[in-house]
Structure 1
Amino acid sequence: MKRTGKKPATDRNFVVALSRGLDVLRAFQPNDGLLGNQEIAARTNLPKPTVSRLTYTLTKLGYLTPVPRFEKYQLTPAAMALGYTALANLGIRHLSEPFREEVMRATGGAVAVGGRDRQSMIYFGQSRGSETVGVQLDVGSRVPIATSAMGRAYFWALEEEERSSLLRDLREHYGSRWPKLRDGLERSGETVAKYGFAISVGDWHDDIGAAGVALRLNDGTGPYAFNCGAPAFRFTEERLITDIGPRLLAMVRNIEATLGGMAPQFKKEAGKKLKSGGKVARVAEGIR
């Protein structure tokens, strides 16, 4: 999801009440089930009286159902229909499925495609086999941009203005934790420049190793990103660099070719990126 550079406080067209209502719906995660006003307030950083009014309104509109016994709410089919409609409109999810399945079978890893939602990437397509029981992620799951392979690949695929805006969001979101996360994100830029893909080994989750590759489209949407992950003892850093990453990169290039674009020559592209003083090196300075 792209976000504009304008802050809501200075944007006369920004409807704060609508934004807060959507924040309440966004607070529900795939495995939550029921949430109360206090839990929603904690997740959204909204005052509890405001949350109470919003949940009341969303109930009246049919997007939430109250469960009086527990003094909590759950999403209704009407709310979930919004997400399923969005999924149906994401052609890349369906187009990429056979490619994802092929890489899943070849590597034994879980292969997913996702897009940005604030400081996270959200899965909207997932291919997972019996060998990936250690990766408990599915459609609707979120992974952080700063530490996941998918998020890092997405980050370095952004245009400079969008990347700068995202950097401000990440600094604000992580606060005192940002310097450590910034270092990992900067190193991932060098990996993307050298190999064409990002990796994450224990950075997001101690037991997960993954590679990530961004997909750029010519229709103004995205970018999106793919990842391929498995338990870290199987997807070591060496295997990610020599096997998993190149396979995933080739998969994304094939998807680009299927969409009608010209698949770039990987070796030539990597050589250009490795030149000293290149774009990645300049951009990395802005991470600080």
Structure 2
Amino acid sequence: MVKDLSSDRRFATTLARGMSVLRAFRPSDDGLSNQEISERTGIPKSTVSRLTFTLQSLGYLSHGQRHDRYRPGPSLLALGNVASASVSFVDMADGIMQPLADETGTLVLIGVRDEQKILLIKTWRPKETSSLWLEVGHRIPASHSSSGQAQLAAQSDEEFASYVENYGNSVLDADITITDLRQDAYSQLLGRGFVIAGHGLRYAKSVNAVSVPFRSREFNEPVSFTCGAVPEVLSVERMETEVGPKLRAAVKDLERMTGRPSALVQQG
């Protein structure tokens, strides 16, 4: 269960609700109504109406006409550009990850943790090859993906303790714990340097993926680089013998370029 922060005097509930409204938008949306935002966030529609009006007034949402839907506004786009420009390792990864995508015929992506989800912040598509339809802004379950399990494995004991405190140690629809997932992924990283989601916990049977964690200067916890494709293109054997080792080598190249140490830390 997600930890309830509302009783903490330091926690600004109104700000948190406003951020929930902004996070409700997905790349595939052609705008959202107040009712749709309410359904996605669980916030009452009357409260959503006040929040969207405020966010629109500040430029974080746009609302062209009286009955038009809300869309991300110029202030939000500008904020996103500032955030993107401040994360230097993403641009540095271009020269490494695009050739990897082309060579392996897989979608290569960067995922960062967003509560109990993994948020995609960058993708590289293989040239002249059909690939998975996953765009920047897409979210996938942390516990049911190699991206999320790789990040759990690379967390320090303190970071992992905070994760469990906030979100609990249970895994939805599985008779295992988050601790079990972390230990299994950690063993994979020690043994071969990459993670493939185990315990039947792939969030989609139509996707196979292999991941390697990376710890940047800009974020206070690990991110993950992932290669993914449909099983017909990316079999388990190919992940284990070809794509996983190539992804591991690519991340090591990025670590050398950025002067970063390995993301894997010794667990207590």
TM-score interval for Structure 1 and Structure 2 normalised by the shorter chain:
0.7 to 0.9
Deviates more, 1:56-65 or 1:212-221: 212-221
Cα deviations by residue, 1:145-198 (Å, 9 ceiling, x for unpaired):
1112211111111111221332344449x8853546856666444433422211
Amino acid at match of 2:209: A
Cα deviations by residue, 1:104-158 (Å, 9 ceiling, x for unpaired):
1221111111211111222222110246524111222222211122111111111
Question: Conserved in 2, the CA contact under 8 Å of 1:100 and 1:127?
Answer: yes
Could you tell me the percent identity over the aligned residues?
33
Aligned residues: 264
Aligned to 1:203: 202
Cα deviations by residue, 1:50-76 (Å, 9 ceiling, x for unpaired):
112111211222222235565632221
* TM, length-normalised to structure 1: 0.80
Distance 1:66 1:181, change over 3 A: farther
Distance 1:89 1:130, change over 3 A: same
Cα deviations by residue, 1:218-270 (Å, 9 ceiling, x for unpaired):
56644221001111112111111111111111111111111124679xxxx9x
Aligned to 2:115: 118
**Partner-residue secondary structure (3-state), 2:243:** helix
Shift of 1:90: 0.9
Distance 1:180 1:233, change over 3 A: farther
Deviates more, 1:133-142 or 1:180-189: 180-189
**Bigger relative CO (Cα 8 Å, ≥ 6 apart):** 2
Question: Conserved in 2, the CA contact under 8 Å of 1:119 and 1:169?
Answer: no
2:139 paired with 1:150: no
Aligned to 1:192: 189
Structure 2 residue runs without a partner (length 5+): none
Aligned to 1:229: 228
Normalized per residue, the structure richer in helix is: 1
* TM, length-normalised to structure 2: 0.85
Question: Conserved in 2, the CA contact under 8 Å of 1:132 and 1:230?
Answer: no
Instruction: Give the CA RMSD over aligned residues.
Output: 3.0
Query: Distance in 1 between the 2:59 and 2:262 partners?
Result: 46
Shift of 1:200: 3.4
Query: Distance in 2 between the 1:234 and 1:175 partners?
Result: 29
Q: 1:76 aligns with which of 64, 73, 76?
A: 73
Amino acid at match of 1:253: K
Query: Distance in 1 between the 2:75 and 2:159 partners?
Result: 32
Question: Conserved in 2, the CA contact under 8 Å of 1:146 and 1:185?
Answer: no
Distance 1:132 1:152, change over 3 A: farther
Aligned to 1:166: 163
Question: Conserved in 1, the CA contact under 8 Å of 2:62 and 2:71?
Answer: yes
Q: Which 4+ residue blocks in structure 1 deviate beyond 6 angstroms? A: none
Deviates more, 1:188-197 or 1:96-105: 188-197
Query: Distance in 2 between the 1:48 and 1:196 partners?
Result: 47
Shift of 1:80: 2.0
Query: Distance in 1 between the 2:117 and 2:219 partners?
Result: 20
Query: Distance in 2 between the 1:176 and 1:147 partners?
Result: 9
Question: Conserved in 1, the CA contact under 8 Å of 2:89 and 2:216?
Answer: no
**Partner-residue secondary structure (3-state), 1:9:** coil
Aligned to 1:212: 211
Query: Distance in 1 between the 2:162 and 2:219 partners?
Result: 18
Distance 1:190 1:137, change over 3 A: same
2:248 paired with 1:252: no
Aligned to 1:242: 241
Question: Conserved in 2, the CA contact under 8 Å of 1:257 and 1:263?
Answer: no
Aligned to 1:11: 8
Aligned to 2:173: 177
Q: 1:59 aligns with which of 41, 56, 60?
A: 56
Aligned to 1:286: none
Question: Conserved in 2, the CA contact under 8 Å of 1:215 and 1:224?
Answer: yes
Distance 1:41 1:240, change over 3 A: same
